[in-house]
Chains A and B, each alone.
Chain A
Amino acid sequence: MTTYASTEVALLAVALTLVVGVYLVAVADRLVAVIVAGDGVPIVTTLVAPVRQVAWLLSQSRTTTERPDAAGWAVAPALLAGLAAFALALVPLAPGLVLADPDTGFVAFSAAIAFVMIAVFLHGWSPNSPLPLIGAYRYGAQALSFQIPFLLAMLATALPAESLSIVRIVEAQEPLWNVIRQPLGLPIYLVVGLGVSFWGPLNLPDGSDLAGGTSLEDSGIARLLWAVARSSMLIAVSAMGAAGFLGGWYGPFLPGPVWVIVKTLILLGVILLAGHVFARVRIQTFVLVSWAILIPLALLNIFVSGAFLL
């Protein structure tokens, strides 16, 4: 049986991961951008840049639209940030260091991912403005398309564990990580993770081709909250990828928590790099790829993993 850390410690760990993680995403995204562009790395500027942006957004005056759904507009960033915290609460950050390890952890995580589409749709729908609304509908199509490949790719990780508990899923990877046992799983999960956190090539709802999409009408603190919520979701997705496919805290030489951090950072780096290397995908292409390629691949992944376990 796993011995769990106390609730207070786990709560502190999740809160700390989110706070540090959001700052890290802001810094790392800029660093990746300058490295990809081949410029010199201005370390100090990069470290201070998020703070400057926060200060600027906090001092910006709020604008509004004609007859928005004010409640929905206010709730959307809070919902997205809350979902990120909920999802991260299910991820073991070290052996026994998990805020909640329900026996249906995988289903709970999937429910959080499903509610992301509610948060993004609400965020684009409520300002009562055309481009955010187009972004909202785009994300509807995007989210409904990646939902099934996501569920199938994650479900395959539950097969060797014979449990839906995330901690059991990590423990089942002690002899062999899922990334080797199920080579199709992690690539599918990363594509879906880009979609969930609508980042880089899959930033279709908030893309610059819609002048900012669902966050076009956001200003000041609302824009800041939305950016924080998006970054938190990215952290949660990376951490879950590390737990589900890269063997969580298992690894040679280094202690468990360090491995969790290293693996999460690697996945985060891959996602951030994808944002600066790949062009934005058209929604039609993404929907087609999800239904016609990712679902069959994810099913194949499940069948092969299942066959090895028989």
Chain B
Amino acid sequence: MIDDQIVTIVFWIFSAGAIIAGYRVFRTDSMVRAAFYLLASFAAVGGILILLGSEFLGMVLILMMAGEMLIMAIVMVMYMMNPAGLNPMVMVHQNRVAAIAGVVAFLALAGVALAGDFPDKPAPDPPAATRELGVELLGNSMLVFQTAGVTLLATMIGAVALAGHRGRYGAADEGSLEPPLQPDEETEG
């Protein structure tokens, strides 16, 4: 089958892409570059998910990661004393702990891959898989997902309220300052 061969080739391209981009995350010298390499790695994993017949999850992974990595890049640049993330900086730290954690995680995952008992029934075609996912999200697991969804929504609203322009003590660009504790401080300042 030519289709099978193409799928195999594309699988290896995506796998190699995910690993190389993942490696580059730690070898590059800029946070913005690291975020984009991580995005490339996740996009390749999304491609593998699509190859596995999980079309919806793969597409959603690719869709969500674009926004997330951009936000991550901007937030990292905001917190670091590194204008725009273009100045070179080392992206790794705590090397020994990280190396041990990496080896342990790799061995554990490899153990699962080698010793695991995988089902060998063929994957359902993508429309059926998408439908099953929808039935699961709005059926048996609805309570779990709706709880998580409402929690996340409340967190988002809270974060937006905290970061908002209009603060408790006036607008941010008009010097939003707490009133002084002592009433007479106000006349001095």
- Chain A residues packing against B (C-beta within 8 Å): 67, 69, 72, 102-104, 107-108, 110-111, 114-115, 117-118, 121-122, 125, 128, 133, 137, 140, 143-144, 147, 164, 284, 291
Is B84 within 8 A of A107, CB to CB?
A: no
Contact of B130 among A104, A110, A111, A133 (CB under 8 A): A104
Chain B contact surface mostly: helix
- Which residues of chain B (132-152) have a CB below 8 Å from chain A? none
The 18 listed contacts between A and B (C-beta, < 8 Å) are A103-B127, A103-B130, A104-B130, A107-B56, A107-B63, A108-B59, A110-B63, A114-B63, A115-B66, A118-B66, A118-B70, A121-B73, A125-B32, A125-B84, A128-B84, A133-B84, A140-B70, A291-B160
Q: Is B26 part of the binding interface, using a Cβ–Cβ cutoff of 8 Å?
A: no
A118 and B36 within 8 A (CB): yes
Residue of A with least CB distance to B127: A103
A-B pairs, 10 with minimum CB distance: A114-B66, A111-B63, A107-B59, A103-B127, A111-B62, A104-B59, A104-B55, A115-B66, A104-B56, A114-B63
Whether B70 and A69, one on each chain, are in contact in the complex, defined by CB atoms closer than 8 angstroms, is no
Across chains A and B, the number of contacting residue pairs, with CB separation under 8 Å, is 67
Contact check, A121 vs B130: say whether CB atoms are below 8 A apart: no
Q: Does B159 contact A (CB under 8 A)?
A: no
Query: A104 to B60, alpha carbons, bound, how many Å?
Result: 9
- Per a CB cutoff under 8 Å, which of B36, B67, B160 touches A114? B67
Are B60 and A69 within 8 A (Cβ)?
no
Most buried by A among B30, B39, B63, B130: B63
A164 engages B130 (CB within 8 Å): yes
